[in-house]
Chain A
Amino acid sequence: MNLFIESTGFGIVVASILSIAAVGFTLQWGVTNILNLAYVDFMILTAYLDYSLSQVAGLDFWVSAILSVLAVGGLSVAFNHFLIQPFVRRGIKFFYLLIIAFATGTVLQYVIQAIWGSTFFNISVGGNQSYNLGGMLLTESQLIIIGMALFVMVSLHLLLTRTDFGRSMRAVAINPTLAQCSGIRTAVVLNATWFLTGVLCGISGLVLAFNTSTFDVNTGTVYIAPILAAVVLGGIGSPYGAMLAAVIIGLISEWASAFINPFFNVVVALIVLVGVLLFRPEGLLRSLTTSSGGGTS
C-alpha cells in the first residue's frame, strides 16, 4: 500500500510534466495540423540552453530559465515559418512533412551532441528536502514542478477563453480560411501559436530535466511516447483533454513502473496509445476543432 501511495505521488509529478508538454504538442497539432516529431528535441534543447546559461555563464536561475524558454519559443516559430509553412503552402503530402519534422528532430539531436558532447548534465530547482504528504514522498523540487504545472494550466485556460488571441487560435484551428475571411490574420496567429506552444515545450523540457537527476539527449527522445499517448488519449487539439490524459497516463505509468518493471512506464503509455488508436481514435474529449457532420446532398 505504501508503494501505491508513493508511486501515486510520483505519478502526479510525472503528470505535471507531461501535461505541460502534451498541451503544447496538442495545440501545435490541432491548430496547425502538424505532427511535430521534433518537439521532444526542442524540449531537451531548452534544458541544455539553461545549463549553459546558468552554470557555464553563471546567470541567475530564473533569468537563464526564462531566456532559454523564450529562445526555444523563438526557434519553434522559426521552424514553423521557414521550414513548415513554405511546404504547406505548396501542398506537400503530409507524410513528407512528417519526415521533415522527424529529420529536424534527428539533426537537432546530433547538433546538440556536437555542441555539448554526450555527457550527462544536471539542472535542478529548489532543494532536495523531502516532504511527506500522506505517504507520498515528494521533494521540494517536485512540489515546485507541480506548482508550475498548475500555474501553466490556469494561465492557458484564461488565455484560451478570455483573450482575443485565444479565440483567434480556436477559430484558426476550426477553419483557417473562414478565420481569414473574418479578419483574423491567420499567419500571425499561427506564428503566435507556435511561439506559445514553443514556450510550453521549453517549460516542459526544463521541468523534465529538473525531475531527472541527470539528462542527455536521449532523455528527450524517449519522451515522445508518453506525449503522443497523452495527446491521442485526450483528443488531438484538445488542451483540456491533454491535461486530463496526462494525469491518467502519469498515474498509470508510475504504478506500472513501481509494480511491474521500471521500464514499463514507457510501455504502458504506448499500450494506452495503441489501444486508443485502435478503439477510440478520437480520444476522450472533443478538440478545439469540432468535427462537422457527414456529407450533404
Chain B
Amino acid sequence: MTSDAILEVDEVSCAFGGVQAVDHASLKIDRGSITGLIGPNGAGKSTMVNIISGHTKGQEGRIVFAGRETTGLASYQVARLGLIRTFQLSSEFPNMTLLENMLVAPRQVGTKFWNAMFRKSVWNRQEYELLERARHLLVEFGLFKLADEYAGNLSGGQKRLLEIARALMADPTMLVLDEPMAGVSSVLIDRLVDHILELNKTGLTFLVIEHDLEVVDRLCENVYVMAQGSVLAYGPMGELRQNESVLEAYLD
C-alpha cells in the first residue's frame, strides 16, 4: 500500500461576503484510498470541494494534485488532470439521452473543430469505441435499459448513478463525490457503496462528503472532520466517535 499523497491541500482559506467559509484548512489524501469528509452543516465541506475542483477560488493556500500545482486553475483544467467531482444537486444533462450524457465525458478527437467538420472518419471510429465503453458502464450501473431516455426523466437515485458512470467515462484518477447518497433509497445506497468499493480496487482514489455516517463507516478508511471552516480531526471512524471535539461540533 503506497502512502504517497495524490492530493495535498495546504492551509486553504476562503471567505464570502464576511463569512469565513473555509479557514486555513489542510487535507492530505493518499493515492488509492477512500477518504471521507464529514461535518455539520455550514462546516465548509462543499466550499472545500469547490476550491479543490477549481469552481471557487480560494484566497490563501495551495493545492497540489498528482504532483501538479492546481491552485487557481480553472475547473476544467483541474478536471483534465484527472480530478473529477460530482455535485450535491444532480447535474445530468436533462435534454440529452443517457448515452449522450456518457459520451460527453471522455476526451475525444471529434470535439476539435477541424476534426468534427472535415474528418468524420476519424472520430466516427472513436465514437463506436466510446459507445462500447458507455454501454458497458450503463449495464454495470443498471441503467442500460434507459440508454435512450432523456436524462432529465430519471429518478433522483438513477441520476446519481448516471453522474458517477459519466464521471468514470472521463478516466479520472480521483473522484470527489459531494453527498452521493443524498436522497437515494437505501437499496440503491447499497449498490452505490458496492460500486465505489469495486472501483477503488482498480486504483481509483475517492474523497466522499457524506452526512450518512453509516455509509462513511462502510466506505472510508480515514475521515476528515470539518467544522466552521477548519479541519477538526482526522482518523478512522471508530477513533473519531470517541473524539471530544468532534462530538461537540456535531451536537453544537
Residue B18 CB within 8 A of the other chain: yes
Cβ–Cβ contact B16 & A293, under 8 A? yes
Cβ–Cβ contact B42 & A296, under 8 A? yes
Residue B44 CB within 8 A of the other chain: yes
Per-residue A-contact encoding for B181-199, CB less than 8 Å = 1, 0 else: 0000000000000000000
**For residue A296, which residue of chain B has the nearest CB?**
B42
Cβ–Cβ contact A295 & B18, under 8 A? no
> Closest CB of chain B to A91's CB: distance in Å?
12
Cβ–Cβ contact A297 & B16, under 8 A? no
**In the assembly, what is the distance between CA of A55 and CA of B102, in Å?**
67
Cβ–Cβ contact A297 & B19, under 8 A? no
Chain B residues near A296 (CB-CB < 8 A): 21, 41-42, 46
Chain A residues near B50 (CB-CB < 8 A): 295
Contact residues of A between 261 and 297, Cβ < 8 Å to B: 291, 293-297
**In the assembly, what is the distance between CA of A293 and CA of B44, in Å?**
13
Residue B43 CB within 8 A of the other chain: yes
> Closest CB of chain A to B150's CB: distance in Å?
16
Cβ–Cβ contact A297 & B41, under 8 A? yes
Cβ–Cβ contact A297 & B17, under 8 A? no
**In the assembly, what is the distance between CA of A293 and CA of B16, in Å?**
6
Residue B85 CB within 8 A of the other chain: no
Chain A residues near B46 (CB-CB < 8 A): 295-297
**In the assembly, what is the distance between CA of A75 and CA of B47, in Å?**
46
24 contacts between A and B (CB under 8 A): A291-B17, A293-B16, A293-B17, A293-B18, A293-B19, A294-B16, A294-B19, A294-B21, A294-B47, A294-B56, A295-B46, A295-B47, A295-B50, A295-B56, A296-B21, A296-B41, A296-B42, A296-B46, A297-B42, A297-B43, A297-B44, A297-B45, A297-B46, A297-B47
The 3 closest A-B pairs by CB, nearest first: A294-B16, A293-B17, A293-B16
Chain A residues within CB distance 8 Å of chain B: 291, 293-297
